[in-house]
Amino acid sequence: MYQTFSYTLLFFFMATIFASAQDRPAYVLYSKGGQPAEYKKLLKEAQKADIILFGELHDNPICHWLQLELTHDLHSEKAADLVLAAEMFERDNQLLIDELLAGTIELRHFEAEAKLWNNYKTDYYPLLAFAQANNLKFIASNIPRRYASLVARQGLDSLNTLPDEAKQFIAELPIEVDLEMPAYKKMLSMMGNAHGTSDKAANFAKAQAVKDATMAESIAKARGRNQTVLHFNGSYHSDNHESIVWYLKKLDPKLKILTISSVLAEDPKKLDDKDKDVADFIIAIPQRMTRTY
């Protein structure tokens, strides 16, 4: 009888913990419009896309875990037709990535020479390792930061002064920039307040645009026939189907693009109205979630 009572007490204790955990979800997934969605719906839609833009919060562990899970699950369906790409690696590091994945150089050499983010080891190395283990292409999609910084300081025309060797790491010039795009208008407003003159603010927005244009071109060039590109970027680069999406559509209006955004919420079970249409799928994550850096 004592043993039966012990098992009953243990069951009650475990059920209480489980119920408590369910009251504190690590994330809640929504589809566009703010409707709760299951992960399997996201996966099903992702399998039909030409390009998936996974918008992350750079320091959020839930984003990075879901990125790796989606990579695993898409690979199960797509195999070699899956291509990975990321904002966090710049075009002039593509050779290093290719050499690492081919086994030409050792990981220590790659990490010593590549420009790596603070959270590379925990958040982006697992994606590289997956690509290497499964013989997948991994594309460094972003413009080298020195050239984006040049635009921020001197404007778009400064890119024309670069040698041809440098221009290969940038989207084809001239780059069209629509400063009326809401994403860039918001940046203009923020930068205008911080930096005073409208020219300085415009250059900051244009620097953001050359990143978006370069990432879009990198993604489009990486995609082969019937392939799906899974691209990892900060949410701001693809929210509201702007920025990278705008440039991709200019390159090919027929592309089927799926966007994912990550947002912080006081209560992830109640999505803010402002976030309901920010992407095709929205990952709502608790404000107090721990950070990776």
What does DSSP assign to residue 171? P
pLDDT of residue 190: 81
For 220-265, the DSSP string reads: HHH--TT-EEEEEEEGGGTGGG-THHHHHHHH-TT--EEEEEEEEE
Question: What does the block give as tokens for 25?
Answer: 């979800």
pLDDT of residue 194: 53
pLDDT of residue 140: 98
Q: What is the CB neighbour count within 10 angstroms for residue 153?
A: 12
Task: Read off the pLDDT of each residue in 215-228 and give the average, rounded to a whole number.
Answer: 97
Taking only the tens place, the pLDDT of each residue in 182-196 is 999 999 988 765 554
pLDDT of residue 198: 80
Task: Read off the pLDDT of each residue in 30-41 and give the average, rounded to a whole number.
Answer: 97
More confident of the two residues 84 and 20: 84
pLDDT of residue 199: 86
Taking only the tens place, the pLDDT of each residue in 55-100 is 999 999 999 999 999 999 999 999 999 999 999 999 999 999 999 9
User: How far is CA 273 from each of CA 38, 248, 261, rounded to the nearest angstrom?
Assistant: 20, 27, 14
What does DSSP assign to residue 202? H
For 40-93, the DSSP string reads: HHHHHHHHT-SEEEEEE-TT-HHHHHHHHHHHHHHHHHHGGGEEEEEEEEEGGG
pLDDT of residue 191: 73
Q: What fold does the segment set 27-286 form as a domain? A: Rossmann fold (3.40.50)
pLDDT of residue 10: 41
Domain ranges of the chain: 27-286
More confident of the two residues 234 and 4: 234
Average pLDDT, the chain: 92
Is the model's pLDDT at 254 over the cut of 90?
Answer: yes
Which distant-in-sequence residues (6+ apart) come within 8 Å of 231 by Cβ? Answer: 51, 52, 53, 54, 84, 85, 86, 87, 141, 215, 219, 244
pTM of structure:
0.91
